[in-house]
Amino acid sequence: MNLEQLNRIATAMVQPGKGILAADESSSTIKKRFDAIGVESTPENRRDYRELLFRSTDAMRNYISGVILYDETIRQSAKDGTPLVKLIEQAGSIPGIKVDTGAKPLPFCPGETVTEGLDGLRERLKEYYGLGARFAKWRAVIDIGRDIPSYTCIKANAHALARYAALCQEADIVPIVEPEVLMDGDHDIDRCAVVTEWVLKEVYQELYYNRVVLEGTVLKPNMVIAGKKCAKQASVEEVAEKTIMVLKRCVPAAVPGIAFLSGGQSDEEATAHLNAMNRIGGFPWKMTFSYGRALQAAPQKAWSGKPENVSAAQAAFSHRAKMNGLATLGQWKPELEKRAA
């Protein structure tokens, strides 16, 4: 393990002013996104769409530090034959790869899942490193509901995340550790805070037991937020304060940075919450974004599968990337959204 290299990459991934584009949608997920804009989900269309993102010079050079890819995408080449990984590197961004194989039902734990993908991971990581990946991602999913999450579910997912992270570091690949407490459901923000704290404490315990070096990792957590069906939604300030409170209780200062997932928040909500946290400040880690839908919904809609819409889609992507880049510095304002509109 080359710790100096891992730390350098992890630090570059969370540099102020930039964040991570999650373009690692599985084939089934991107099909849903394409269905919504009336585009057939073919390998060519998926490639064309991702190529337009990676060729968005303004966004990629100025506001995107890394890109999480799907297995299909890391092997694809642009229309002119340039590997998509090379486009990302040429823009000064770091290519990464999603390596889990998805959340599967957890035996004897109704309504709960465990993320799979450890079998053969050592060999896959070696191949992905050869294809240009310098970081990886593994997502654990924790749902809040009646009588859940169970300790069984939290423990199983934390252990799998730690095993994955150790294998990544062995392969000189930075692990993004992603324990996502879902915002589905009718729970309030305080219940989310309690569960998120429990999950993060277990995750860091398991990372320690599996000898993962924290300086070579990036955390990708949910924000502490009320469930979508909760009658009382918390203010932007409360989300920022409670998220920072939980992170300070759980995340060691050795971790270079935290790249939040958007988890079903609207584009502007995700930006406003990140901005509010960075305005509060006073924490030991860099706070940035690792958004998928919150960066891509606008460009997908603008593109709608038409070649003549590529520049409009790139402009929409650059705008969202810039807004979130400003949020990492605590410099975003709602007026900036209105001005662009």
As annotated, the active-site residues are 178, 220
Residues 164, 168, 169, 170, CA torsion sign: positive
Q: Are strands 218-219 and 174-181 parallel, antiparallel or unpaired?
A: parallel
Tokens of 35: 């269905």
Tokens of 113: 């899942």
Q: List CB contacts of 308: < 8 A, sequence separation 6 or more.
A: none
Mean pLDDT by 10-residue block, N- to C-terminus, for the chain (341 residues)?
Answer: 97 98 94 95 96 97 98 97 98 98 98 98 98 98 97 98 98 98 96 98 98 98 97 97 98 98 94 98 97 95 95 96 98 88 55
- Per-residue model confidence (pLDDT) at position 169: 98
- Per-residue model confidence (pLDDT) at position 339: 72
CA dist., res. 137 & res. 30, Å (int): 18
End-to-end CA distance of the chain: 47
Q: Can you list the domains of the chain with their CATH numbers? A: 3-340 (3.20.20.70)
Contact between residue 191 and residue 274 where contact means Cβ atoms under 8 Å apart: no
- Per-residue model confidence (pLDDT) at position 338: 81
Q: Are strands 94-98 and 135-142 parallel, antiparallel or unpaired?
A: parallel
* Half-sphere CA count of 183, side-chain side, radius 13 A: 18
Tokens of 201: 């404490």
Q: List CB contacts of 180: < 8 A, sequence separation 6 or more.
A: 139, 140, 141, 142, 220, 221, 222, 261, 263
Give, to the nearest 10 degrees, the angle between helix 121-130 and helix 151-170.
Answer: 40
CA dist., res. 67 & res. 203, Å (int): 24
Q: What is the pLDDT of residues 261-294, one digit of tens each?
A: 999 899 999 999 999 999 999 999 999 999 999 9
Residue 332 to residues 102, 270, 288, Cα–Cα distance (Å):
34, 12, 13
Tell me phi and psi for residue 74, to 5 degrees: -65, -20
Q: Is the peptide bond before 149 cis (omega within 30 degrees of 0)?
A: yes
CA dist., res. 65 & res. 8, Å (int): 13
- Per-residue model confidence (pLDDT) at position 340: 65
The DSSP secondary-structure symbol of 144 reads -
Tell me phi and psi for residue 98, to 5 degrees: -80, 130
- Per-residue model confidence (pLDDT) at position 341: 55
Question: Residues 304, 307, 312, CA angle at the centre, nearest 5°?
Answer: 65
Beta bridge partners of 175: 136
Question: Residues 152, 157, 159, CA angle at the centre, nearest 5°?
Answer: 95
CA dist., res. 279 & res. 165, Å (int): 31
Tokens of 138: 């593994």
